[in-house]
Amino acid sequence: MRMFKRFLATALCSAVVVSGFSHVQKVDAGPPSHSNAKVENVIFMIPDGYSTSYATNYRIYKGEDTVLDSMLVGMMKTNSADNWVTDSAAAGTAMATGVKTNNGMISVTPDGEELNTILEAASDAGKATGLVATSTITHATPAVFGSHVESRGSEADIALQLIDDVDVLLGGGKANFLPRSKGGNQAERNLLEEAEASGYHFVETRDELVALDGKEEKVLGLFADGGMAPELDRNETEEPSLAEMTKVAIDTLSNEKKGFFLMVEGSQIDWAGHAHDAAWAMKDTEAFEEAVEEALEFAKKDRKTLVVVAGDHDTGGMTVGGYDEYRSNVEMLRDVTATGSYMASQLHEDRSNVTEVLRTYANIELTASEVERIQTAPSNRVHFVINTIISERAYVGWSTTAHSGVDVPLYAYGPSADLFNGLLDNTDLPKRMAEAMKIDFVQ
């Protein structure tokens, strides 16, 4: 078994050593703990869409081992109840409830019966609870921890269930909390007013968030009407980073003497994979790693906090190398400063400035053939063609615009981290978190 673990860690986490490359330095979060001490807090972090190929490409992009590398403990199966290839709703439901459901369903059985979630079980045990995401906070992954609906598209209904049941909510999706009379998606109710009346401190900009003193019992932060901006484009907004939201959530929730449960999602790694936007994927992975560092900093000082990290599925079928070449050039993505969608938005109506836009935001000189590909693309595919060209330059391949069914890496740090060793099913995670916290968790 020891040899197998060493082989698995080497296969997934070894740095790429190539003649002429600079020496790769190891960033070590410290070995996962095998302590049986009671876990007071769990920070469950989900890089949506993240698989081993994302992990390897990000290591190359970063130029050294990642924070997650030293936390690797196993792998996780991802299939849903009705498909070998899961969506985020079914995957999240399994990771929140310990029960598989059909794609598209939020913490209910295939027959529509509500399932208890690990967040709800933690709340019942007297712990504070929180959800953080860069999507709408009512999107599939955060939704599964605090709501129960048969369709992931029912985000207005999800918002109704999250308010009052979760102490800290940080992300996008402000429209789902407002009535239609104010441009929102609620029939009549203004959930922002209701939230403030029931004790939530409401913030909607980065400056308002970081100004909090950590003494608030309940915080609602909604920083965009829909999803938040990609990390590449965030400087164009007043939105906080994922790391900043994570820190505020931890500071707030750690006031509860009985401990807390916090879920943090790096939502847009998945969105980048769907769009085949390799630079966006790497930049949002970097933002997620910075959030993990915030969690680890707290866990190392606290010594009663378990940090668990796992993607819910793979998105896009990303490869390391591609296009019939035995090579990788992921490092060039460091020079890309905008998403493909943003670059497409900067093109003139006749797309005559293609060369200038790609030179400015991707630091590449297009060939005549590449210019023609962008200029002749259908209007709704321009961003995708830009992303494809950049991926070709980086030798990052893609096999699908949807999800794939591969197993994903599993990471853990802190007391009881050894509960997550080996090959697990996604349904195992909440059960083992409950075991670590020594709380009741039954369906």
d(CA 263, CA 43): 6
Quick check: 432 pLDDT over 70?
yes
- 43 beta partners: 262, 307
Confidence of residue 263 (pLDDT cuts 50, 70, 90): very high
372 carries a ligand binding annotation: no
Confidence of residue 28 (pLDDT cuts 50, 70, 90): low
157 carries a ligand binding annotation: no
Specify the amino acid at residue 107: S
Of 18-32, 123-137, 308-322, 343-357, where does mean pLDDT reach its minimum? 18-32
Hey, which residues are catalytic here?
88
Quick check: 233 pLDDT over 60?
yes
Contact 38, 366 (CB under 8 A): no
Quick check: 54 pLDDT over 90?
yes
Quick check: 377 pLDDT over 50?
yes
Residues of the chain with CATH 3.40.720.10: 38-316+401-437
Cα 157 versus chain centre, distance: 22
Query: pLDDT, tens digit, for every residue of 64-121?
Result: 999 999 999 999 999 999 999 999 999 999 999 999 999 999 999 999 999 999 999 9
Quick check: 201 pLDDT over 70?
yes
| Per-residue model confidence (pLDDT) at position 442 | 84
Quick check: 15 pLDDT over 70?
no
Query: pLDDT, tens digit, for every residue of 165-175?
Result: 999 999 999 99
| Per-residue model confidence (pLDDT) at position 26 | 38
| Proportion of the chain above pLDDT 90, given as a percent | 89
Could you tell me which residues come within 8 angstroms of residue 19 by beta carbon, excluding any fewer than 6 positions away? none
Quick check: 34 pLDDT over 70?
no
| Per-residue model confidence (pLDDT) at position 224 | 98
Reduce the DSSP state of residue 94 to 3 states and report it: helix
23 carries a ligand binding annotation: no
427 carries a ligand binding annotation: no
| Per-residue model confidence (pLDDT) at position 2 | 38
- 172 beta partners: 136
34 carries a ligand binding annotation: no
Quick check: 9 pLDDT over 60?
no
Confidence of residue 27 (pLDDT cuts 50, 70, 90): very low
Mean pLDDT of 54-58: 98
Confidence of residue 164 (pLDDT cuts 50, 70, 90): confident
- Averaged confidence pLDDT in the chain: 93
Nearest to 38 by CA among 299, 306, 300: 306
Nearest to 37 by CA among 442, 443, 440, 438: 438
| Per-residue model confidence (pLDDT) at position 180 | 96
Mean pLDDT of 49-56: 98
The whole-model pTM stands at 0.92
| Per-residue model confidence (pLDDT) at position 38 | 82
Residues for the chain: how many in total?
443
| Per-residue model confidence (pLDDT) at position 33 | 66
Quickly count helices (H) and strands (E) in the chain: 16, 12
Quick check: 126 pLDDT over 60?
yes
| Proportion of the chain above pLDDT 70, given as a percent | 92
348 carries a ligand binding annotation: no
Q: Identify the CATH class of 38-316+401-437.
A: alpha beta
| Per-residue model confidence (pLDDT) at position 23 | 32
Confidence of residue 17 (pLDDT cuts 50, 70, 90): very low
Name residue, tokens 């879920």.
263
Mean pLDDT of 218-234: 97
CA–CA distances in Å: residue 439 to residues 82, 136, 259, 306, 433: 30, 29, 12, 14, 9
Of 5-9, 52-56, 100-104, 377-381, where does mean pLDDT reach its minimum? 5-9
Quick check: 372 pLDDT over 90?
yes
| Per-residue model confidence (pLDDT) at position 35 | 66
Mean pLDDT of 312-320: 98
